[in-house]
Structure 1
């Protein structure tokens, strides 16, 4: 029985960072998620988010981006194994994309709950 050789930890991190870099550089939606994350960070600094609000925003960034990475990997695997259009391949790709969409919509709603009152107070409406 052959013993599995695992990559050293630093190589595992390298592979993971390469996957993140590949997704950011090749996937339009990941670029959009990153862009909105930068805007949220800028708005959060201006509006002086609390520690709890920062934790919520960071958790949502992580959730949406992690799901986008999973979605990208599912799409790549499906494309690798399905040479022609198949109903099950479509279900796999569509449901993975749907998971990202649900997380992004919920993140936007939570963002509005956090930022709209702070923004209105900042401009003097509240």
Structure 2
């Protein structure tokens, strides 16, 4: 039986699919970073996120309360990021004012508002009893 040649082992490489997925995460993180650098509203959301997490740690939230808070914060961030993407695409395809472009931007901003209001309700339900002693 022939003996395999000995030599340095060949390094194992991730399959192409895993490399592509890793690259996708990099693109996504770059997108969040770009939005954070350019969108003032995201700065507000970042500050609010830090405040809510700090308040949650201070209040000692239960597991289900953390789930509600994290999902709410994540949903607001997602809505804001989608709004930012919609605004960028609308600006690209319609550099001049157009009523439909304005409506698309308004609706995307409205989605952020609706999600932020829903997150505020979650905040009142989760933090209200602790903060108002009920």
TM-score by length of 1: 0.88
1:30 paired residue among 28, 42, 57: 42
What residue ranges of structure 1 are gaps of 5+ in the alignment?
Answer: 1-5
Residues 1:93 and 2:105 aligned together: yes
Deviations 1:52-103 (A, max 9, x none): 0000000001100011110000000000010210000001000000000000
Picking from 52, 66, 70, the partner of 1:58 is 70
Question: Where does residue 17 of structure 1 map in the other structure?
Answer: 29
Unpaired runs of 5+ residues, structure 2, are 1-16
Alpha-carbon RMSD across the aligned residues, in angstroms, is 1.3
Measure the CA separation in 2 of the matches of 1:105 and 1:24.
21
Return the offset for 1:11: 1.1
Match of 2:7 in 1: none
Runs of 4+ that moved beyond 2 A: none
